Structure 1
Amino acid sequence: MKASLNFENYFVLETFYFNNPFPPETDEEESDDLTPQFKWNIQHRDKENLTDAGVFLEVLIGDKDEGHFCVEAHVLGLFTIEDNEIENDEKERLYKINAIAILFPYLRSLVSDLTSKGNSADQIILPPLNIHSMMEQELEN
């Protein structure tokens, strides 16, 4: 059985890591909120057939302008769907749910590896997430 969605390759587009244990003193109280913020975007070369897609996934943790800690990572996954019998709305669904779920472990590993280089006590290991469920909820809303 041939899979409908093919994962061709991925690329690390950008990383940013900032960890200063002695930030400049300010009158403002710094937030310790390190909740990851995820963004994604899908681009197609052929907007009629949707046979291939570039899936962009990024995470931002911390604040690079006002905090003492920040991690940002952007990855791009290349995917194809060769089955012409699949309707475009189902192709779009495969890209949004399955492709992002496939790409997430690469982003997770990248953040872990990047943050391990500064100080092992500050290493961030993103928890495994049920991407499929999260994307299903987002599509419903």
Structure 2
Amino acid sequence: MEQYKASFQLTEYIVNKAEYNLNSNFKPTENELLEVDFEINAIISYEDNTDFITLRANVGDLENENCPFIINVEITGIFEFDGDDYSRESFLKTSGTAALFPYLRSLISDMSSISNVFSAFRLPLINVMEYLQDEDRIIINDNRSK
């Protein structure tokens, strides 16, 4: 099985922040049409032997009367990479963020459902890397010793 092992591995992830607030400005309607916007940001940090990707999501808007809640979360994935520096950034940007995104979606869904007020909200399935690049929401930190 070793020959099938990918050159990078998500070894674990950590929930750094999980904040849920009901929106006091929310005005429920009969058709329950909710408007829940979101923003996602990524910080990719290179270390000598371990790399980190932190995804932050802000979900909801206090000013929007059709949005029932505000959720702010941050998770960090810890990755090991066995490859050259040339492909490292590319792998982490594309495959790393794609590997971590389902954990972010699940956390947001879980938080919205345990409120016991509304049904679970799910972030839409998106090409997270394309979204992050198009919206200029990636920060790269190279903390490797030179």
TM-score bin, normalised by smaller chain:
0.7 to 0.9
Q: 1:4 aligns with which of 7, 32, 54?
A: 7
2:42 to 37, 40, 43: 40
1:76 match: 76
Q: TM-score, normalised by structure 1?
A: 0.74
Q: Partner of 2:128 in structure 1?
A: 131
What is the distance in 2 between the residues matched to 1:136 and 1:74? 19
SS at match of 1:121: coil
How does 1:1-141 map onto structure 2 within 5 Å?
1=3, 2-20=5-23, 22-23=24-25, 34-46=36-48, 51-63=49-61, 66=63, 69-83=69-83, 86=84, 88-134=85-131
**Is contact 1:97-1:135 (8 Å) kept?**
no
Q: What per-residue deviation string (whole Å, max 9, x for no partner) do you get for residues 9-36 of structure 1?
A: 000000111114x449xxxxxxx85211
Stretch deviating more after TM superposition (113-122 or 74-83):
113-122
Please give the secondary structure, in 1, of the residue aligned with 2:123. coil
Mapped contact 1:63–1:69 kept (Cα < 8 A): yes
- Structure 1: 5+ residue runs without aligned partners? 25-31
Q: Count residues in correspondence.
A: 123
Instruction: Supply the distance in 1 between the matched residues of 2:52 and 2:126 (Cα, whole angstroms).
Output: 21
Q: Decide whether aligned partners of structure 1 residues 132 and 44 sit closer, same or farther in structure 2, where only a CA change above 3 A counts.
A: closer
Alpha-carbon distance in structure 1 between the residues aligned to 2:7 and 2:108: 29
1:11-67 CA deviation, whole Å, 9 max, x = no partner?
0000111114x449xxxxxxx852110000011222xxxx42110001101236x56
Q: Structure 1 CA distance, aligned partners of 2:22 and 2:114?
A: 11
Q: Percent of aligned pairs with the same residue? A: 28
Higher RCO structure (Cα 8 Å, ≥6 apart) = 2
| Structure 1 residues 3 and 138, CA gap change in structure 2 (3 angstroms) | farther
